[in-house]
Amino acid sequence: MNIVMLGLNHKTAPVEVREALAVSGSDMTAALTRLRALPISEGVLLSTCNRSEVYAVVDDPAGVDGALVDYFLGLALALHGRELTREQLLPYLYRRHGLEAVQHLFRVAAGLDSMIIGETQILGQVRNAHRDAVQAQTVGKVMHQLFHQAITVGKRAQTETRIGQSAVSVSYAAVELARKVFRSLEGRRCLAIGAGETAKLTLRHLLSAGVREPIVANRTLDRAESLVREIGGRAIPLDKVPEALSEVDVVISSTGAPGYVVTRQQVEEAVRARRGRPIFLFDIAVPRDIDPAVAQVAGAYLYDIDDLEAVISANLAERAQEARKVERIIAGELERFRQWAASLAVVPTIRMLREKIDAIREQELARTFNRLPDLTDHQREVIAAMTVTLINKILNDPTQQLKGMAGEGSASQAIETVHRLFDLQRHRAEPAVENGSAP
């Protein structure tokens, strides 16, 4: 019994191929139903906008690859009407086997394999993939353990390191910089100039940080009103920006205008109207929306795209440093999983040993009770319970020793010895997870 993973992601496949294999929530049940038809004993499908991966427990690692490739081809056709050939798909696929598959999932859950290192959304997607597989009844003992530990890795990466705590997008960097300036954005007001995706994302970050009643200005008022309906606030035409400047503490500008949308004179007038209260302006447009001379106005603080990129570069370097800490967490959890998987090899022997000794216990209890017919039911229960406790205590040390030896990779001889000493039926148990590629 082995763990195998086959899949593709943003590093190996273009977006049109990833789209062909993407499985939305409404299609997940059908996709997992198809998974049950494969020659696997357990399986989980992890599908996001950036990756599609199948994790499976199989008896024959070498013989399952073709079935998994056909599975992906079937999904593309059934869910998206995309008729891909094996030759078209194979160059984009990667395969992991044994502990390499386990390590890969741990890195995915920790955000180390993401487009942006340390992003936290993937952990929820790993959790959902396991939940969906549980509901579809495609998981068993091994996949439960694997995904529970992967989720633990992701949680530890977030709580024990700073891998996901520094801003690595322009919009989020602007918000984080504003938060540092004001210490808290709770109750602050902001103006977004522009109503595109960057403005929307930045406003969402600001609202989650406590900003209230955002103002959205756009050359096309309909677009500003559409964004306001989605997130709240007030929409104004672009020519009302000079008046709005005096009302807000933070300005985020991200239009595609050819000239300056905010001038030095407008900011000077806004600062006078604010009576000494500072205003912070973030120009994340290229070409720039805000006249660079605004930086010379007392009480106005201007940051442009280069300032934000410098923050992002420093934060990416910090994430790379934190990634090394995450790798150490993964190494420890990987060893813990290896020991757990190796211990499965001795489970059949432990079970047979317990079954044989319990059968002997039952026989001897029956003989004893026959010789002592005057015992009450309570006395019989006490004696029976005592024999169970006795057996558990006797078998505890050998059981733990066998599991420990399995974790060290030296259980084969001990298993053979136990079978001979107790005359157990021979049962050859293969290791649960091999290290490396399939033979």
- C-alpha 147/C-alpha 5 separation (Å) is 13
Amino acid at 220: T
- Domains in the chain (CATH in brackets) are 2-166+319-341 (3.30.460.30), 170-298 (3.40.50.720), 345-422 (no CATH)
pLDDT computed for residue 60 by the predictor: 84
Amino acid at 284: I
Q: Where are the beta strands (DSSP E) in 284-412?
A: 300-304
pLDDT computed for residue 21 by the predictor: 93
364 appears as a binding residue in the annotation: no
186 appears as a binding residue in the annotation: no
Question: CB within 8 A of 212, min separation 6: which ones?
Answer: 187, 188, 189
The answer to whether the pTM exceeds 0.85 is no
CB pairs under 8 A, 24+ apart, for 214-223?
214/189, 214/190, 215/189, 215/190, 215/191, 215/244, 215/247, 215/248, 216/191, 216/192, 217/191, 217/192, 217/193, 217/241, 217/244, 218/193, 218/194, 218/255, 219/255, 219/257, 220/195, 223/195
263 appears as a binding residue in the annotation: no
Catalytic residue, from 15, 37, 49, 286: name it: 49
- C-alpha 179/C-alpha 210 separation (Å) is 10
137 appears as a binding residue in the annotation: no
174 appears as a binding residue in the annotation: no
Question: Exposed/middle/buried for 26, CB within 10 Å: 0-12, 13-18, 19+?
Answer: exposed
Question: Which among 9, 8, 72 is positioned nearest to 38, based on CA atoms?
Answer: 72
pLDDT computed for residue 88 by the predictor: 94
CB 293 within 8 A of CB 272: no
- Give the residue ranges of the chain where pLDDT is below 50: 426-432, 436-439
CB 211 within 8 A of CB 189: yes
197 appears as a binding residue in the annotation: yes
355 appears as a binding residue in the annotation: no
198 appears as a binding residue in the annotation: yes
Residue 49 known to be catalytic: yes
114 appears as a binding residue in the annotation: yes
Kindly give the pairing relationship between strand 94-97 and strand 2-9.
antiparallel
- 74: tokens are 């079937």
399 appears as a binding residue in the annotation: no
